[in-house]
Chains A and B, each alone.
Chain A
Amino acid sequence: MDQVAQYIWIIPAAPLAGFIINGLISFSWGAKSSDFHKKVSTIVSPLVILISFLVTLAVFIQMVQNPETNRIFSQNLYSWIKTGFIEANVNLVLDPLSIILVLIITGVGFFIHLYSVGYMDHDRSIIRYFAYLNLFTFAMLILVLGDNILLMFVGWEGVGLCSYLLIGFWYQNRNYAIAGMKAFLVNRVGDFAFIIGFFMLFWGIYHYEGVPTIAFSALKDVMGKMPEWYLTIVTLMFFIGATGKSAQIPLYIWLPDAMAGPTPVSALIHAATMVTAGVYMIARMSFLFIATPMTLTVISIIAAGTAFFAATIGIVQNDIKKVLAYSTVSQLGYMFLGMGTGVFTTGIFHLMTHAFFKGLLFLGAGSVILASHHEQDILLMGGLRKKIPITFITFLIGTLAIAGIPGLSGFFSKDEILWQTYITPNVYIPQLPHILWIIGLATAGITSFYMFRLLFLTFFGEFRGDEGALEEVHESPFIMTIPLMVLAVLSIFGGYIGMPEALGGSNHLHHWLSPVLSMKEAVEEHGAGHFQEYLFMGFSILVSLSGAALAYIFYILKPSIPKSIGSKISGLHQLVFNKYYIDELYHATFIKGTLGLRMLLNKFDQKIIDAFVNFVAVIVKAVSRVHGFFDRVVVDGLVNFVAAFTQYYSSVMQTWQSGMLNRYLYYILGSFIMAYVILRII
């Protein structure tokens, strides 16, 4: 074991320390906290994340130098649960998979913390904000580093809690508080499935494999005898858990509402890290998922559906953050599409690039929002590019990356997913890869369209807000623009570590990850060399460019077109604009259904349970009446009889006891004489 492994504990411990410090300050002083407290908080918070990042970097450097077989670093902190056949340790593991996530969480997280210092500068609850943010980082690191499913679940719930706290951060606004609750409740549905999946997995291991363990590293070697149908149910349950956390159909509805939270939170939690937990979970348990083609097929179908569906909603949203939220849902769909192919590196690759460019886009949006004094409606913006040039350029880079313009990170990751989707055969539906590929390609075009629409409406054309408001637009301070620039650089170059061999790259990421993931062999050489791959790349470039071009025509050249189209198909427009009425549908079915069930249960309680209880009471009353009669007459009578009997005879006997000494002496004498006479007679 290498020296660096013993420092792994610092990675989650530093954010925890940050949380405790900030939490104590917030708890002790709260609203009365002074500028000094604020200063401490704003320094401590990013600093602890930086410490985590540096430790991770040190481990990473060591890991790169080590040979492929020796790249798993683990540190066992203590034995957590130890019962008859379950043994869970708090064991932190850094392997090639988790270190990518940890680097993203701490690296991107550090810059988002920095950005927050600027963004939340005027908020009076900034200390509470940083406490939550540090706690989130801690929970996310536990999720990623945990070596067993239980520990992962602790992190899984922890990030859910922090997500709830941060979405409802401005709880004074009722709608924001409700959005937090919605996120929490929807996540609960997924978490419930996760727990069931975990229990079933544990039972299955105990029953079929006979070696009860829940540690990932041990599980991997143990699996084998479990029947496929059982494993399919287990993995489907885990996937439902992932749909909750990672906002897939049918549990995606909380993510757009989660935009109620502060914008850096949207960037960190609802774009870069937490929502990708589902993807990470599947990669972590790749040895389960790879054995169940049925689950993978379901994942693919749901993922493609989510990607397309969310992208179409993104076209018509006017809130800058809502557009990005639906875009996140759509991109998460892409990641799951990659996971569904069974070549899990593609999903992780897109997870990474997405963390860069979506984090960048959200932070850019935050900068725009702050610059235009908390205006989020893009219809009231326009022409901002000269006022906030740094934000504009970085936002442009983010847009290019997500749209899949060649040379930027998004292009490589998205293209690899599409290529693997097309080329991976499906055992159940032979045509499925082609259908999924077409959906994915269409989604790429739509993504390009709505992102450029967002860009054009925000930064180009004439300013459409109130007069004079444009004058007050100002660029954000350096502490906010530096993270933008860093992430922009990462968005450009982040893709090169996973560049496919067809383009002269060597797909480092794939080789890096393949020792720790159980997965299908990525089909690199297929048929006629790389020709087909080039062709497909050409397709996606074409689609991306045409999406961008269409957006240019619609929103720069002829701004009247969207309105006329909108009015021509107003029905469809209304449908999409209202997000397909999914929220309303859920409200009408699940929520109304739950409330109805509640009334029904209430009736059941009143009519049946209460009636039963009353019936029992009446019976008991009658029985006790009879019992009471018996007690009074028989039991009491017997007792009283004995007492009266004793009293009567003692009144007779007491006359003998006169107290006269002489009489007693006569008794004695008489007794002697009687005894003598009796003995004589006998």
Chain B
Amino acid sequence: MTSLLSENPNSYLIISVLIFSAGMFTVLTRKNILAIIMGIELMLNASALNFITFSFFRKSTLYSGHVFAILIIVLAAAEAVVALAILLAIFQQRKSVMTDDISDMKG
């Protein structure tokens, strides 16, 4: 099989780890909720890449990994819609999207 794809999954997995780490770093360090949501999207896509990778290299005829990847894309879209809607509502009320300003739930 001549293909652009490498015979080895390592490079795919390393890319996946890099994307996931970038997403997590974004989520942990940024105070802008919009940025946090973007981080989350990154993490989701990293996991989707992971699924595809393993599915492809294990030559599974069930294609469950593919199915999961598509499920995650749908989930990410839905999540983005809900999260952005909440964000919009918060912004309308507080004129801010910083997590420091939304600490009403503290004990």
Contact = CB atoms under 8 A, between A and B. Distances in A.
Interface stretch (B12-20, B55-63, B97-105): B97-105
Given A654-B106, A659-B107, 4 more contacts: A658-B106, A659-B103, A660-B106, A661-B99
A661 B102 contact: yes
17 contacts: A653-B107, A654-B106, A657-B105, A657-B107, A658-B106, A659-B102, A659-B103, A660-B99, A660-B106, A661-B33, A661-B99, A661-B102, A665-B27, A665-B28, A666-B28, A669-B24, A669-B28
A662 B107 contact: no
A169 B31 CA distance: 107
A660 B28 contact: no
A659 B28 contact: no
A656 B99 contact: no
Contacts of A653: 107
Contacts of B106: 654, 657-660
A655 B104 CA distance: 13
B86 to A, nearest CB: 12
A658 B104 CA distance: 9
Contacts of B105: 657, 659
A180 to B, nearest CB: 88
Nearest to A651: B107
B72 to A, nearest CB: 20
Contacts of B36: 661
A298 B24 CA distance: 121
Contact of B31 (A654, A656, A657, A662): A662
B27 A660 contact: no
A505 B106 CA distance: 124
A151 to B, nearest CB: 85
Nearest to B98: A661
Interface residues of A, number: 13
Q: Which of A657, A659, A669 has the most CB of B within 10 A?
A: A659
Interface of B: 24, 27-29, 31, 33, 36, 99-100, 102-107
Contacts of A654: 106-107
Contacts of B99: 660-662
Nearest to B99: A661
A655 B107 CA distance: 7
Contacts of A657: 105-107
A660 B102 CA distance: 7
A656 B106 CA distance: 8
A659 B31 contact: no
A669 B99 CA distance: 18
A141 B4 CA distance: 129
A653 B107 CA distance: 8
B65 to A, nearest CB: 24
A657 B104 CA distance: 10
B5 to A, nearest CB: 32
A658 B99 CA distance: 12
Nearest to A655: B107
A655 B24 CA distance: 25
A662 B28 contact: yes
A655 B103 CA distance: 13
B107 A660 contact: no
Contacts of A659: 102-107
Nearest to A662: B99
Contacts of A655: 107
A657 to B, nearest CB: 3
A661 B24 CA distance: 14
A201 B94 CA distance: 97
The 6 closest A-B pairs by CB, nearest first: A659-B106, A659-B103, A657-B107, A654-B107, A661-B99, A659-B105
A665 B28 CA distance: 7
Nearest to A653: B107
A659 B107 CA distance: 7
A210 B24 CA distance: 101
A662 B35 CA distance: 12
A657 B29 CA distance: 19
Q: Which of A655, A660, A669 has the most CB of B within 10 A?
A: A660
A658 B31 CA distance: 15
Contact of B100 (A656, A660, A665): A660
Given A661-B99, A661-B102, A662-B99, A656 B107 contact: yes
A569 B58 CA distance: 151
Contacts of B33: 661
Interface in A627-682: 653-662, 665-666, 669
Contacts of B104: 659
A651 B24 CA distance: 32
Contacts of A661: 33, 36, 99, 102-103
A662 B101 CA distance: 12
A660 B101 CA distance: 9
B28 A658 contact: no
A661 B40 CA distance: 14
Interface string A270-308: 000000000000000000000000000000000000000
